[in-house]
Amino acid sequence: MRIFADRKNISMKKACFFLFLCLATVQTSAQNWDIDALHQVNSWDGRFIRNYNKVISRSEPYVAVGVPVAIAVAAWIKDDRKLLKDAIYVGTGVAASFVLSYGMKYLVDRERPYERWPDRVHPYSHESSPSFPSSHTATAFALATSLSIKYPKWYVIAPSALWACSVGVSRMNEGVHYPSDVIAGALIGAGCAVVNVYVNRWLNKWLFGE
């Protein structure tokens, strides 16, 4: 009976070691993919590419804040309650994605890629906050998804999606985010926009008594 128990313990130890080895291999492969993909995007060069990505990256906070504010101003001028509801929905979605993604940064506390891989990533800008996830991408996708939900027309969806994707790519080209940071940011932003549909039903009842 004791021999059987010893053999069982040895088998368990082997199984645990094998599982640990598999997890370590997967983690290493994922990390290699992350930095390899970033290295490629960060290496895209040329005057137009650099300037385009620089402008898109820096446009994010102005567009993300400016669009819901512009909708709210239009609603006030027209005295349009529906438009005001749209402004609140878009604005709260962007705000929620920013708060959630920025809070996650300090929970995960991931080094910026140019700090972790100075020999492979050249930073074209520097950031003081941790890397994961990308808040720029989160708010860009929250805005794009919110606009697409409220105004499901191709001339709204196409430019919104193009801009949001460009923001994510620009953050990698600038060398400040890994692809996994950008993907996570996109999921957070789109998710916040979808969940916010239901949150705003309650918010409209509270604000407008509907």
Dist CA 47 CA 129 (whole Å):
28
Q: Where are the domains of the chain?
A: 36-208
- Global pTM reads 0.83
Q: Taking all residues of the chain, what is their mean pLDDT, rounded to a whole number?
A: 86
pLDDT at 10: 46
Q: Domain 36-208: which CATH class?
A: mainly alpha
Look at residue 11 in the predicted model and tell me its pLDDT: 46
21-76 residue pLDDT tens: 332 333 344 568 999 999 999 998 888 989 999 999 999 999 999 999 999 999 99
Query: For residue 30, what pLDDT is reported?
Result: 52
Alpha carbon of residue 127 to chain centroid: 16
**pLDDT number for residue 210:** 62
Residue 112: DSSP 8-state: P
What is the structure's pLDDT at 166? 96
* CB-CB contact of 122 with 41 (8 Å): no
What residues in the chain have per-residue pLDDT under 50? Answer: 1-29
